[in-house]
Amino acid sequence: MKRQAGLVATTRIAMLAGLGAVLGLAACGTAGQATPTGAAATPGGPRTLTVMTHDSFAVSEAVQVEFESAHHVTVQFLKSGDTAEALGKAILARGQPLADVFYGVDNTFLSVALKEDIFEVYASPLLAEIPDEFELDPGQRALPVDYGDICLNYDKAYFSGQGIAPPARLEDLTRPEYRDLLVVENPAASSPGLGFLLATVGHFGDPGYVDYWAALRDNGVLVVNDWETAYYTEFSGSSGQGARPIVVSYGSSPPAEVLFAETPLDDAPTAAVTGPGSCFRQIEFVGILRGTANRDLAEAWVDFMLSPRFQADMPLQMFVLPVNPNAALDPTFEQYMAMPEAPIVGDPEEIAQKREAWIEAWTEVVLR
């Protein structure tokens, strides 16, 4: 009896060992694919440029290959979470930078990045092509790449079905016919949520925005923490089939609904509210990380991002608009893209100083 048990046990050990070996090999196989970040150039082989970005970064393979072959370089992208997470990591890694270039800081976080001094100055010759309104850092450490608008989106079918006009301006949302129709993101936890709060600050002034939010609260605004929950769980115009027909999203969401429709659509199911001062304009920047060992390649990459070739690729990859007016736009994108009147941009310095106080006041009025 005992011997038999021992035999079974031994067989089992062998099987477990076998399983272990297989899994171990699998792990080695995949681990081997990785190239260490910031690795020194292997003699004769291409050098490596590392670009740190947020998770939403995307680029066409062809565009990428063009840069790599032109500069005999391998570009590695280090996706580092959402904008705030990625910036936090870049700040903490200051001095021992995780990458050569950082892309994705926006005008709500620009001042933080500049204050923490993570970028080197680079006056790219391509800046000459870009309108001055986008150049928010006169010190030329953070260079504008793209912009997009955070706007209210609404479910067209709901409003045509109910026979109510969709909202045209921020003021409309406090009217009784829009009661319990709006879902927004928490500005303390979400980038579009913060952008929309800043739009109301810019439009109604401080402290006027507080009264506006009190009116929204009384009119049944729903607050959730993240864009995904707002758009897919609560919003009725998305495929998630929520119950509320107005949501804070992007000006680029309606064209995305058409481009990513399951069956081809003749018309976007949603549209954006574009009245004067109802959207917040988010501008994203790129910069060379202080302490890079590949300054020449980093400069070449920044120039490439500002060039028409890369700029024209961005809309369909990242759903943002190019800052370089020489870049051509995709027709579908141009047709459904919301072009707001007089969007709020905001002064990065003021945003950095008052953001916490604005969020605190907002929390006090809306959540407590």
Rounded to the nearest 5°, which phi and psi values hold at 282?
Answer: -100, 125
Return the number of the residue (203 or 355) whose C-beta is nearest another protein: 355
Shortest Å, Cβ 76 to another protein: 6
Q: How far is the CB of 147 from another protein (least distance, A)?
A: 18
The residue length of the chain stands at 368
Angle, alpha carbons 250-255-256 (nearest 5°): 75
By CB under 8 A, residue 328 contacts another protein? no
Neighbours of 335 (CB within 10 A): 13
Q: Return the residues of window 62-81 that contact another protein according to CB under 8 A.
A: 62, 64, 76-81
Inter-helix orientation angle 208-218/348-366, to 10°: 40
Residues 161-200 that bind another protein (CB under 8 A): 161, 186, 188-189
CA distances from 244 to 73, 226, 236, 280, 308 (A): 49, 15, 5, 21, 39
Q: Does 253 bind another protein (CB under 8 A)?
A: yes
CB nearer to another protein: pick between 92 and 121: 92
Token pair 């949520």 in the structure block, residue = 193
Nearer Cβ to another protein (211/228): 228
Of 100, 146, 155, 299, the one binding another protein (CB under 8 A) is 155
The total of other beta-carbon atoms located within 10 Å of residue 219's CB is: 17
**Binding of another protein by 14 (CB under 8 A):** no
Residues 273-312, interacting with another protein (CB under 8 A): none
Torsion of CA 165, 167, 169, 174, to 10 degrees: 110
Restricted to residues 16-45, the positions that interact with another protein (CB under 8 A) are 16, 19-20, 22-24, 26-27, 29-31, 33-38
Q: Which of 73, 127, 181, 256 is the binder for another protein (CB under 8 A)? A: 256
Distance CA 54, CA 104 (A): 6
According to the binding rule CB under 8 A, does residue 241 interact with another protein? yes
Which segments within 71-194 are labelled E, that is strand? 73-79, 101-106, 119-120, 143-155, 182-185
Q: How far is the CB of 8 from another protein (least distance, A)?
A: 5
Residue 297 CA to residue 72 CA, distance in Å, equals 10
Question: Which residue in the set 14, 41, 55, 211 belongs to the binding site for another protein (CB under 8 A)?
Answer: 55
Backbone torsions φ then ψ of 20, nearest 5 degrees:
-60, -45
Q: Which is nearer to another protein, 204 or 232 (CB)?
A: 232
For another protein, the closer of residues 25 and 121 by Cβ is 25
Q: How far apart are CA 128 and CA 8, in angstroms?
A: 77
Nearer to another protein, 77 or 204 (CB): 77
Count of CB atoms situated within 10 Å of the CB of 101: 28
DSSP one-letter code for 275: S
Binder of another protein out of 49, 98, 201, 297 (CB under 8 A):
98
Q: Nearer to another protein by C-beta: 13 or 123? A: 13
Exactly one of 261, 328, 339, 357 binds another protein (CB under 8 A); which one?
261
One symbol per residue from 114 to 153: x for binding another protein (CB under 8 A), - otherwise; what is it?
Answer: ----------------------------------------
